[in-house]
């Protein structure tokens, strides 16, 4: 009979054979199609979107959208068919191509919609008309009749009901909008109110459009300035040195302190200004105080972080130089945000066009005074929600394709044995691998981000509803906390997605497997690069802060000269948002390359040991950088142990008198 030791040994071997083996990392050796079910799901989803596009093109009134229409069912610039029950419909408007609103400056608002009568006219009045005689003279000289169609021009001053059949005086000067042929008033107050009512947001949009209309040239100049700063920062990181980092950090500190000082000075200036009686001045003062408090808190936090992490500057410079070696082998990585941005702009324009077509899909119904109103068709609201999900999911899919492309190019350059002979066209190779094998993985990752964003949108809508209905602070605070939780989860999920995309580019595995493997290997090797990687990401974030600071400073100087005429804090917020968006678009390339590089390094350590049989893929510069980091970490750990022993010795040692 077998002995007890033999039985135990056999049992141990059986259990060892049954134990699951850890998955092996095989960089760029094995490739297969991943997450194909999600790709088919995305295809069926887009089939629904294509149906909505076709339905909007057929049921939506494209002619009414593009050319405009009057209140009697006539499309301007077209021959029209009569609508039953509307005597002024069915007219020939071939020569009348512009839409004129009779009460554009003082519109009647009914259920948050414009109740002003619209007419088709041959030209818009470019000068203000103060009396009915001037309206009559304009009709006789230009052939553009601004009163109801059944009122002849010679009766403008004779008909006792002319005040109700003609536009409300004074008629503001207007110009035809280049695309939709609407006569848009040119005075800032009338323009903002007119446009905001048209889009059914009388309160908030009125303030936004008022500021944008009054300072559109300044906003455009600041946006171009932010774009130039972002390009400058990108090339700064491209050719970074220790001196440049010190200059860069000094500029960030000066910019933060300067913006904070300017904001507090403006608030002090507002409180001592005699014109504070104006509503615009009071609103500007409140916004400036909010800006000053927020910027002060952010400045304090960033200054503390800069002071704590100041000793890692030299290693961070070396890290960026190694990152630039990867970018140097594939310089077109820096241009990835451009084509991504171009594709996004094309998709957003298409999405807005379909949305507007859906908004114009309806049946004509005759209301009071023979006017025609178009009622939306049933089921349109459900299409709007489907269309909104398509916007978020497709946008995230396009951005994820950029991340996957950059990660694949970094993986191709890193896992190349001959560093003197870099691979040809790594970006095209990464794109081909993405579209042939891993579109399903990108679809799945972008869907998870979409699932996180939709509850945030719903919570934001509920919060706005509670705020307008003046509910208790407890309910509003609860929804705000839930929104912040979803926001934090969204940020974490984006980081998980980035590592999953890089792992898929390395190993060719599906999304869930890649995310799990990336989390394991990153946690296993976190002690090597996590502090330096965090400081590298922090430096890139400071670059974004620098762009926003100087853009906001320019906006403060420009908008402050015209403080009484407009609520300029909202345009300033828009400029700051655009500046951060542009800076993030360009500098995110460095973030993606850094994260992908660290994951490749962790896989390299996992699969190789540096021997002649299993040499590392990393080059000599990267290996020397790793050794320096290990020495720094070892020295820091030794100092911590020595200080701990000193404290224990002081605490337990005898007291000598």
Alpha helix (H) residue ranges in 309-437: 313-329, 336-360, 380-414, 426-437
Q: Which pLDDT value is given to residue 192? A: 61
How many CA atoms, within 13 angstroms, populate the side-chain half-sphere of residue 201?
A: 8
What is the bridge-based pairing of β-strands 183-185 and 118-121? unpaired
Torsion angles phi and psi, residue 119, rounded to 5:
-130, 155
Q: What is the pLDDT of residues 453-495, one digit of tens each?
A: 877 777 766 766 665 555 556 766 777 777 778 778 887 888 8
Q: Which pLDDT value is given to residue 199? A: 45
pLDDT band at 180 (very low <50, low <70, confident <90, very high): low
Report residue 656 as tokens: 């000598």
Residue that the structure tokens 């999600």 belong to: 38
- From residue 647, alpha-carbon distances to 643, 652, 657 in Å are 6, 9, 19
- Specify whether the CB–CB gap between 100 and 183 falls below 8 A: yes
Q: Which of 160 and 569 is assigned the larger pLDDT?
A: 160
- From residue 150, alpha-carbon distances to 72, 88, 91, 146, 176 in Å are 12, 8, 12, 11, 24
CA 524 from chain centre, in angstroms, equals 33
How many CA atoms, within 13 angstroms, populate the side-chain half-sphere of residue 57?
A: 8
Rounded (5°) CA angle 212-285-209: 15
Distance CA 325, CA 429 (A): 19
Nearest Cα neighbor of 570 from 112, 103, 196 is: 196
Q: Within 10 A of 482 (CB to CB), how many other CB atoms are there?
A: 15
Distance CA 62, CA 50 (A): 17
Q: Which pLDDT value is given to residue 461? A: 67
Nearest Cα neighbor of 605 from 625, 628, 591, 623 is: 623
In the predicted model, what is the mean pLDDT of residues 72-80?
89
Q: Which pLDDT value is given to residue 45? A: 94
Q: Which pLDDT value is given to residue 419? A: 67
Q: Which of 212 and 377 is assigned the larger pLDDT?
A: 377
- Specify whether the CB–CB gap between 124 and 175 falls below 8 A: yes
Distance CA 385, CA 65 (A): 21
Q: Which pLDDT value is given to residue 618? A: 78
pLDDT band at 1 (very low <50, low <70, confident <90, very high): very low
Q: Which pLDDT value is given to residue 10? A: 39
Q: Does residue 338 register a pLDDT over 90?
A: no
Q: What is the pLDDT of residues 558-589, one digit of tens each?
A: 776 654 445 566 677 778 877 877 787 788 88
Q: Does residue 160 register a pLDDT over 60?
A: yes
- From residue 619, alpha-carbon distances to 180, 328, 419, 549, 604 in Å are 59, 15, 7, 38, 11
The β-bridge partners of 171 are: 129
Torsion angles phi and psi, residue 599, rounded to 5:
-70, -40
Distance CA 613, CA 327 (A): 29
Specify the 3-state DSSP secondary structure of 87. coil
Q: Which pLDDT value is given to residue 15? A: 38
Mean pLDDT, rounded, of the chain: 76
Distance CA 84, CA 274 (A): 60
Share of the chain above pLDDT 70, in %: 75
pLDDT band at 39 (very low <50, low <70, confident <90, very high): very high
Q: Which of 234 and 376 is assigned the larger pLDDT?
A: 234
pLDDT band at 19 (very low <50, low <70, confident <90, very high): very low
Q: Does residue 540 register a pLDDT over 50?
A: yes
- From residue 406, alpha-carbon distances to 27, 34, 167, 255, 402 in Å are 16, 19, 59, 32, 6
Nearest-10 Cα torsion for 347, 351, 354, 360:
-150
Q: Which pLDDT value is given to residue 175? A: 84
Q: Does residue 149 register a pLDDT over 50?
A: yes
Which stretch of 240-244, 333-337, 386-390 has the lowest confidence by average pLDDT? 240-244
What is the bridge-based pairing of β-strands 113-114 and 118-121? unpaired
The β-bridge partners of 299 are: none
Which stretch of 32-46, 157-171, 299-313 has the lowest confidence by average pLDDT? 299-313
- From residue 209, alpha-carbon distances to 360, 369, 435, 655 in Å are 23, 32, 42, 76
Q: Does residue 325 register a pLDDT over 50?
A: yes
pLDDT band at 652 (very low <50, low <70, confident <90, very high): very low
Q: What is the pLDDT of residues 221-265, one digit of tens each?
A: 888 888 888 888 877 777 766 677 777 778 778 878 887 888 788
Distance CA 240, CA 457 (A): 40
Q: Does residue 166 register a pLDDT over 60?
A: yes
Report residue 177 as tokens: 């909008």
Which stretch of 158-167, 177-186, 643-652 has the lowest confidence by average pLDDT? 643-652
Q: Which of 421 and 332 is assigned the larger pLDDT?
A: 332
Q: Which of 395 and 331 is assigned the larger pLDDT?
A: 395
- From residue 328, alpha-carbon distances to 278, 322, 408, 502 in Å are 57, 10, 15, 20
Q: Which pLDDT value is given to residue 17? A: 39
Q: Does residue 25 register a pLDDT over 70?
A: no
Which stretch of 127-136, 139-148, 157-166 has the lowest confidence by average pLDDT? 157-166
Q: Which pLDDT value is given to residue 567? A: 56
Distance CA 138, CA 418 (A): 79
Q: What is the pLDDT of residues 507-524, one digit of tens each?
A: 888 999 898 988 888 777
Nearest Cα neighbor of 283 from 359, 210, 387 is: 210
Q: Within 10 A of 613 (CB to CB), how many other CB atoms are there?
A: 7
Which stretch of 274-283, 366-375, 415-424 has the lowest confidence by average pLDDT? 274-283
Share of the chain above pLDDT 90, in %: 9
Write the DSSP assignment of 173-240 as a string of letters.
PEEE-TTT-BEEE-SHHHHHHHHHHHTT-SSHHHHHHHHHHHTHHHHHHHHHHHHHHHHHHHHHHHT-
Write the DSSP assignment of 42-54 as a string of letters.
HHHHHHHHHHHHH
Helices 204-214 and 188-198, interaxial angle, to 10°?
A: 140
Which stretch of 11-20, 58-67, 98-107, 604-613 has the lowest confidence by average pLDDT? 11-20
Which stretch of 175-184, 273-282, 369-378, 421-430 has the lowest confidence by average pLDDT? 273-282
Q: What is the pLDDT of residues 288-318, one digit of tens each?
A: 777 788 778 888 887 887 777 776 677 777 7
Nearest Cα neighbor of 198 from 70, 109, 322 is: 109
Rounded (5°) CA angle 185-112-188: 25
- From residue 598, alpha-carbon distances to 234, 297, 622 in Å are 21, 32, 11
Verify cis geometry, omega within 30 degrees of 0, for the bond prior to 170: yes
pLDDT band at 201 (very low <50, low <70, confident <90, very high): very low
In the predicted model, what is the mean pLDDT of residues 166-190?
79
Q: Does residue 11 register a pLDDT over 80?
A: no
């Amino acid at each position: 009979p077998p002995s007890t030791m033999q039985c135990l040994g056999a049992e141990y071997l059986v259990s060892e054979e049954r134990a699951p083996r850890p998955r092996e990392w095989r960089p760029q050796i094995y490739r297969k199609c991943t997450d194909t079910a999600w790709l088919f799901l995305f295809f069926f989803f887009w089939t629904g979107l294509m149906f909505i596009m076709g339905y909007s093109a057929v049921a939506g009134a494209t002619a009414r959208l593009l050319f405009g229409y009057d209140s009697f069912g006539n499309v301007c610039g077209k021959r029209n068919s009569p609508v039953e029950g509307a005597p002024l419909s069915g007219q020939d408007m071939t020569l009348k191509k512009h839409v004129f609103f009779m009460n554009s400056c003082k519109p009647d608002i009914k259920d948050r919609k414009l109740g002003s009568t619209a007419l088709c006219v041959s030209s818009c009045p470019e000068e203000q008309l103060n009396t009915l005689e001037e309206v009559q003279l304009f009709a006789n000289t230009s052939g553009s009749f601004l009163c109801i169609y059944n009122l002849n021009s010679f009766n403008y001053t004779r008909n006792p009901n002319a005040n109700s059949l003609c536009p409300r005086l004074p008629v503001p000067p207007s110009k035809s909008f280049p695309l939709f042929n609407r006569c848009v008033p040119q005075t800032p107050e009338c323009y903002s109110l007119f446009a905001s009512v048209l889009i059914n947001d009388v309160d908030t949009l009125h303030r936004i459009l008022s500021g944008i209309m009054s300072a559109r040239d300044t906003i455009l100049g600041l946006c171009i300035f932010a774009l130039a700063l972002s390009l400058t920062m990108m090339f700064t990181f491209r050719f970074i040195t220790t001196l440049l980092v010190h200059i860069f950090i000094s500029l960030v500190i000066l910019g933060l302190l300067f913006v904070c000082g300017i904001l507090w000075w403006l608030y002090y200036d507002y409180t001592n200004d005699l014109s504070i009686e104006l509503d615009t001045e009071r609103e500007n003062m409140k916004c400036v105080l909010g800006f000053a408090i927020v910027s002060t808190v952010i400045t304090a936090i960033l200054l503390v972080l800069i002071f704590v992490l100041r000793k890692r500057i030299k290693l961070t410079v070396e890290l960026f130089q190694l990152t630039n070696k990867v970018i140097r082998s594939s310089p077109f990585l820096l241009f990835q945000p451009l084509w991504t941005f171009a594709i996004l702009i094309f998709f957003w324009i298409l999405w807005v066009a379909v949305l507007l077509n859906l908004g114009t899909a309806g049946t004509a119904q005759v209301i009071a005074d023979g006017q025609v109103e178009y009622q939306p068709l049933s089921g349109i609201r459900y299409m709007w929600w489907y269309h909104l999900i398509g916007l978020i999911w497709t946008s995230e899919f396009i951005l994820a394709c950029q991340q996957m492309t950059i990660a694949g190019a970094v993986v191709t350059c890193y896992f190349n044995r001959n560093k003197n002979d870099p691979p040809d066209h790594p970006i095209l190779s990464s794109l081909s691998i993405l579209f042939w094998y891993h579109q399903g993985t990108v679809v799945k990752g972008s869907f998870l981000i979409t699932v996180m964003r939709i509850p945030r949108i719903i919570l934001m809508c509920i919060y706005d509803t509670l705020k307008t209905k003046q509910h208790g602070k407890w309910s509003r605070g609860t929804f705000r906390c839930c929104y912040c939780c979803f926001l934090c989860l969204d940020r974490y999920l984006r980081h998980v997605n980035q590592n999953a995309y890089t792992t898929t580019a390395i190993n060719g595995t599906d999304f869930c497997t890649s995310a799990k493997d990336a989390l394991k290997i990153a946690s296993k090797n976190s002690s090597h690069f996590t502090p330096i990687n965090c400081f590298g990401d922090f430096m890139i974030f400071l670059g974004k802060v620098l762009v926003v600071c100087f853009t906001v400073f320019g906006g403060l100087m420009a908008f402050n000269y015209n403080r009484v005429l407009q609520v300029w804090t909202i345009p300033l917020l828009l400029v700051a948002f655009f500046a951060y968006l542009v800076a993030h678009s360009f500098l995110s390339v460095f973030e993606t390359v850094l994260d992908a590089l660290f994951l490749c390094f962790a896989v390299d350590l996992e699969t190789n040991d540096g021997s002649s049989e299993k040499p590392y893929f990393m080059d000599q510069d990267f290996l020397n950088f790793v050794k320096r980091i290990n020495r720094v970490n070892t020295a820091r750990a030794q100092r911590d142990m020595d200080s701990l022993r000193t404290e224990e010795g002081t605490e337990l040692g005898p007291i000598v008198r």
